[in-house]
Amino acid sequence: MTSFLEELRWRGQLHQTAGEGLEEHLRSPSQGGVMRVAYAGFDPTSDSLTIGNFIPAKALMHWQQCGHKPIVLMGGGTGLIGDPSGRESERTLMSREQVEANVASQRRILEKFLDFDRKRPNGAIIVNNADWLTTLGFLDVLRDVGKHFSVN
């Protein structure tokens, strides 16, 4: 079994790394290393994934094949918010039901790359930021987050 970094190098996906010891830090558990955890985020604004999602999905797949634990972070909460970044207009707002359906659909796609078996020590897990973001109250956010920003 190759290491995670060797796999990325072989695929031409690794240009450089910072610092020494990274290879040792990411050594596969089967080669005497410690299981590590990594995540990649996915935006559920569609029921499918884009070609741009392929690279992080495959990276998580290689991560898992090297014995490490992948986490899929679905942006179900942030997907409920309009996002004008890089666009001339705001994204179309979707209902919670549509976002939840997109999350479920994308999970079915990701299951073709990742093993979500909870019995495996490095079984992939999926978390949805809607699970905690939708429980935040407006005043809680203003009090805890808003205090760090000037009104001006």
Query: Per-residue pLDDT tens for 11-54?
Result: 998 888 887 889 889 988 988 889 999 999 999 989 999 999 99
Structural domains present in the chain? 35-148 (3.40.50.620)
Q: Which helix (H) or strand (E) holds 108?
A: helix 96-110
- Among 1-5, 93-97, 115-119, which is the least confidently predicted range? 1-5
Task: State the pLDDT confidence band at 1, using cuts at 50, 70 and 90.
Answer: low
3-state secondary structure of 99: helix
Contact at 8 Å (CB) between 38 and 60?
yes
DSSP 74: E
Bridge partners, 69 (sequence order)? 37
pTM, two decimal places = 0.84
